[in-house]
Structure 1
């Protein structure tokens, strides 16, 4: 028998009330918008400076590379496996430790508290590429100038919208979960850990300020900047271009060159054709590290009731004139 799912357990005494702080506002304050701008701009500047800094020599070590890759993988899969496939779409059930761990790991991506992130994404799926979608690149039209403007909005402009998604409407299950409410309320703590752990580890490992500084540049700023823009590219690029082998009600497409960095999220067409599927890359050769992690969780007993795709379901969703060979992970 599978363990009890704890995702929606522990109902608070006042489920209609959101905790104070980062969760509570339905509108975005000027202070929040300024803070958001800083957290977008500074990592982006570091990302732009990464190549010349590496070229100068003496400012990139193997320790920096390892820290950047490890923190990218942890926070990135926290988003893809946790925020997206588990909390938003219920592609699998998880025990309490896995659930909380995924919520914390996703929060360290610094893309917002889990409840807000989930509410935005569920709203996106309800109105995908139509009126009501918080970040469709087609919102201004389908001419080239309109699409370019829309892609910028879908990539990051939408986050500055004063009106926020109604979390009570789109994420009531998470609001009722004490564990997730607590993780969301502690979002500033997870941000601080995400920013400070790499330089602390780098400084202690090298016993130098130089090691701390380079770790902060590469494993904090560059890592956060790259992860942000890869994640946001799913909203912008993957809804504007890409192959569409499966029937969907929107313009979601597969963009192969984003697959590795996005941990399988850029196989976006299948995701919109079958949102609760635990695997997005279902065709031959499609890399999906997030699905592999869910598979490992299932083997360890940390996850169950995983919604793996079946060959029949995948074939039924293909467009009539598309070939391609399916390759599925066995449950």
Structure 2
């Protein structure tokens, strides 16, 4: 990890270097364009509205499982929830194929403890600034860190979840296998029943299973990489977390990452006018239904104290 002095401290104070824009295109835009380019070629041959609908529903289920469940509830305890809802959120998050809940939470709590410093498992500034350093850093933050032999201590970072029997059970590797099978099998089953053929099941499996997992992985990893490199600082933080508006909707509100690092336990990340946060809206619905309580909604005083003056 580069020393703190080697890392620029304020992206908002200077024009964004051309190479940062180039790397954003290479790491985020190109893969999405590749997927979108496949759509017109596949339409009518191996893709239709049935597959799009199933993929969208699966994306929302597993995406909210990560954002509302894994992240805001289990990692940061932004709200309390009924046991059955906690189990549902843990299973839905696991269906994203981002690993069992306790492993995910341990890595993310460690990230917050050491954000963009030595010990952060996925900082894009690990190799310093500049084109070469940031290229390596973005690759590491986006996906490379997942292949590291180093594992975050669950006992150190997740003693609360290890003491939670249902969540500990769902975090065992053997227990996680049925969750993976459910993630891949459910869209195929829905497609087969809806379309009434093996072909319908196969296309739903491809778009609602494999492609959906690819897109959600890429969006989640972009929060680690892009949102710590590129964007706007609207709240004062000690790290490089930034808000990236064009990632906000597809990330279900997670790309309002600067506020999240300024106030990690807040149940809402998009707190300024026009900042859409679907995950916060779902938590609000859980609260209205009586399924969630002690929700840590943003406090106007805290927000004002952390607001960057020229943002």
TM over 0.5: yes
Change (3 A) 1:158 1:152: same
1:104 alignment counterpart = 91
1:118 alignment counterpart = 105
Match of 2:268 among 261, 279, 282: 279
What is the deviation of 1:321?
2.1
2:221 alignment counterpart = 232
What is the deviation of 1:204?
1.6
1:57 alignment counterpart = 43
Stretches of structure 2 that go unaligned for 5 or more consecutive residues are 1-29
2:278 alignment counterpart = 289
Does the alignment pair 1:219 with 2:205?
Answer: no
- Is the CA contact (8 Å cut-off) linking 1:91 and 1:307 kept in structure 2? yes
What is the deviation of 1:50?
5.7
> Which whole-Å deviations, capped at 9, do the CAs of 1:113-141 have from their partners, x for residues lacking one?
00000000000000000000000000000
Stretches of structure 1 that go unaligned for 5 or more consecutive residues are 1-43, 323-331
Change (3 A) 1:246 1:214: same
2:126 alignment counterpart = 139
Change (3 A) 1:183 1:272: same
Change (3 A) 1:255 1:55: same
1:67 alignment counterpart = 54
Runs of 4+ in structure 1 over 3 Å off: 44-50
Q: Which has the higher helix share?
A: 2
1:181 alignment counterpart = 168
Change (3 A) 1:168 1:47: farther
CA distance in 2, matches of 1:208, 1:159: 37
Change (3 A) 1:133 1:103: same
Change (3 A) 1:84 1:136: same
TM-score normalised over the length of structure 1: 0.82
Match of 2:244 among 239, 255, 260: 255
Give the length in aligned residue pairs.
279
Q: Kindly report the root-mean-square deviation, in angstroms, between the aligned alpha carbons of the 2 structures.
A: 1.6
Aligned to 2:121, the other structure's residue is in SS state coil
TM-score normalised over the length of structure 2: 0.87
> Which whole-Å deviations, capped at 9, do the CAs of 1:135-194 have from their partners, x for residues lacking one?
000000011210111001000000000010011101111011101011112111111000
